[in-house]
Amino acid sequence: MIPGKMNSPDIRPVDDSKLTQNDVVFYYSREHRLKKASPRVRALYEDPPKQKPRFGLFRSLVDTKPKAMLLSIIVVISLVILLYSIFNR
């Protein structure tokens, strides 16, 4: 790649006199990237909603699928132990 030459219109030119052959130049334009992004991605970079997050013990235990599965396994194992202790007297 020739330093200072580029194909994308969102990249500003680099001063060729300051570069050597071994320099690595990274080009990045967040504004251009967000122009091409979907509306859901653009919404992530806008102001967040003004809702106060609510804390709940049950919600924090089941907010993701793995957490919900773990809680259900714990409940089932507890019930099995309880029923086993009741019926084996």
User: What is the residue-level pLDDT of the chain in tens, covering all 89 positions?
Assistant: 455 455 555 555 666 666 677 766 666 777 777 888 888 888 888 776 667 667 788 888 898 999 999 999 999 999 999 999 999 87
Length of the chain: 89
Phi, psi of 4 (to 5 degrees): 90, -10
Count helices and strands in the chain by DSSP H and E runs: 4, 0
Contact call for residues 10 and 32 (beta carbons, < 8 A): yes
Q: How far is CA 48 from the centre of its chain?
A: 15
